[in-house]
Amino acid sequence: MSHGSTKVELHLARKGTSDRDALSKSDPYVILKMQSHGQWFEVDRTEVIRTCINPEVQHLWFEVHDISSNHDGPKEADFLGGMECTLGQIVSQRKLSKCLLKHRNMAGKSSITVIAEELSGNHDYIELAFNSRKLDDQDFFSKSDSFLEIFRMNDDATPQLVHRTEVVMNNLSPAWKSFKVSVNSPCSGDRNHQLTCIVWDWDSHGRHDFIGEFTSTFKEMRGVMEGKQKKNYKNSGIVILNQCKIHKMHSFLDYIMGGCHIQFTVAIDSTASNGDLRNSCSLPYIHRCQPNEYLKALVAVGEICQDYDSDKMFLAFGFGARILPEYRVSHDFAINFNEDNPECAGIQGVVEAYQSCLPKL
């Protein structure tokens, strides 16, 4: 998924499904379908849970079938029931239980339970701080101008730069500023991944002089360590790690699953800069066959957000319009014109209130 997105794993359990096999228990499996452009298409299906009426499976599916003996795919006769919901409903409730439906009727006492669990994308970051003591002096007329580079070793043994510190001028015991990198950057989640740290004496022409290097792992960096020089070098100084912190980056789902409640509020630009409401070229103009740009944005965002709002009641305001009867510019008016209760029921309620208020502006 793209950066900023969250992966969710869904666990499925089924309960109370009627037994369709005369001589043995049902062999159920579940099919997951996703809607795109008004059509349902199959995403995947679970493994078959042999001879079990209350199975617990590892993946999400929406249609429950009983596999037939000839195993020639799902047939209408094998359909046990289905459940339709959105991902937001599952995530916001964390554990969603619904009755199975068959031909829009209850499929007996059958129900399906879906549990959402976020898959860690590991967006945490590490804060490191190094200093050094008694570095070799590489300059004739002044002390070394040192900086530190950290490399991770790729699978093909080539080095990849993780971070380069600033240069500390004229100092043989420099303390470099602390810095932050993604926890994936130095080790890709493997804390035993080898890192190489090199100390250089900076040169304005780019021909930096090598002072020394050491190898370590992120696991070792959780404590204080000292740099080691290659065997054919004498000790050229000591590098000390004096800070190694892991900062947890909480995702949107961490807050939702932790019990955080979201209050969804809508504010709609009603200023004259949008153009005349009666002009078909203006932003607020509502065509007969399609919604205006405001309605498109409202539905696109609102239908996602409303699943994370516990009561589905949304405050909806407009600003920048002249409101009757005083005909004064208002920068905070309820689009349902009920100042005592400006809430609308669901996104559809906001849409209806907006469409009703436009002719009155």
What pLDDT was estimated at residue 70?
Answer: 58
| CA distance linking residue 275 with residue 326, whole number of Å | 22
What pLDDT was estimated at residue 117?
Answer: 67
Both structure tokens of 199: 């100390």
Which residue bears the tokens 């890192």? 195
What pLDDT was estimated at residue 21?
Answer: 47
What pLDDT was estimated at residue 232?
Answer: 45
Domain topology for 125-247:
Immunoglobulin-like (2.60.40)
Do 91 and 116 meet the contact criterion of CB atoms below 8 Å apart? yes
Handedness of CA 195, 197, 198, 202 (dihedral sign): positive
Count H helices and E strands in the chain, helices first: 5, 21
CATH number of the structural domain 7-119: 2.60.40.150
User: Which whole-number Å values give the CA distances from 110 to 10, 27, 74, 269, in the listed order?
Assistant: 19, 15, 19, 48
Domain extent listing, the chain:
7-119, 125-247, 261-360
User: Which whole-number Å values give the CA distances from 271 to 17, 26, 346, 352, 359, in the listed order?
Assistant: 57, 63, 25, 20, 14
7-119 and 125-247 in the same fold? yes
Amino acid found at 41: F
Q: What is the mean pLDDT of each run of 10 residues along the chain (361 residues)?
A: 55 59 54 71 59 37 65 61 79 79 78 72 80 80 86 80 91 91 78 88 87 86 51 62 79 77 87 79 78 84 80 90 83 91 92 88 76
Question: How many residues are recorded in the chain?
Answer: 361
Question: What's the predicted TM-score (pTM) here?
Answer: 0.47
| CA distance linking residue 159 with residue 37, whole number of Å | 46
- Show Cβ contacts of residue 339 under 8 Å, excluding neighbours closer than 6 positions: 333
